[in-house]
Amino acid sequence: MSEIKLTKPLLEVKKVLPILNKISILAGLNDDQLYNIFRMLEKVTFTDGEVVFKQGDQPSYIYIIKKGQIKLFVDNDEKPFELVSFGEGDCFGESSIIGIRPHAATAISQGDTELVVLSRSTLMSLYESDIHLFSTLILNIAREACRRLNASSETILHYVNSHQTS
C-alpha cells in the first residue's frame, strides 16, 4: 500500500477558479454550493514520477488536477500498461470512492503536479449536512464514470474490429 501524503488546506480559491469549468463533477453547482465545496478541498503536490496511489490501494480522495499531469497504469503480469493520461481540470479516483472498491490502477505524476483533493469522509459527510449538494456530486460522478465507460467500450470495439479484419 502506498503512503498517504499530507494534505494542506486550499487557501487560494481564486487560483482554482480558472479551471472550474473543466471540472466535470462540479457541473451545475451554484455559487453557494461551489463555495461550500471549495471550503472542503485540500491540496497536495507530487514530483515527477511520484506515486499518487497504487493499484489495489483503498480509495481515500477524489483528485482534481490543478497543475501537471497524471498517468494511470495497470500491472499486467508485472508489465505496466498505460491506460489514460489526465491533465489540468481532470478528475480521477472518483469512481473508486463511490464504488467503494480498491483502485484498479496506479496513478503516477508526470512532472511536478499539484492536485486539489476532496476526501471520501468529507464527501460522505455531505449526505448529512447538504443532501442536495451530495446528490448533485454523486450524479455528476456517475455521469463521468458512464462517459469513461462509453469511451472505453468504443476503444475496445475499435480494437476488436481492427483485429478481426487483419
Q: Which of 51, 36, 44 is nearest to 123 (CA)?
A: 36
What's the predicted TM-score (pTM) here? 0.80
Q: How far apart are CA 66 and CA 119, in angstroms?
A: 16
Q: Which of 68-72, 88-92, 93-97, 137-141 has the lowest mean pLDDT?
A: 93-97
pLDDT tens digits, one per residue of 22-56: 788 888 888 888 888 888 888 899 999 999 999 99
Bridging pattern class, strands 51-53 and 79-86: unpaired
CATH class of domain segment(s) 8-164: mainly beta
pLDDT tens for residues 64-74?
999 999 999 98
pLDDT at 1: 45
Report the distance separating Cα 73 and Cα 88, nearest Å. Answer: 18
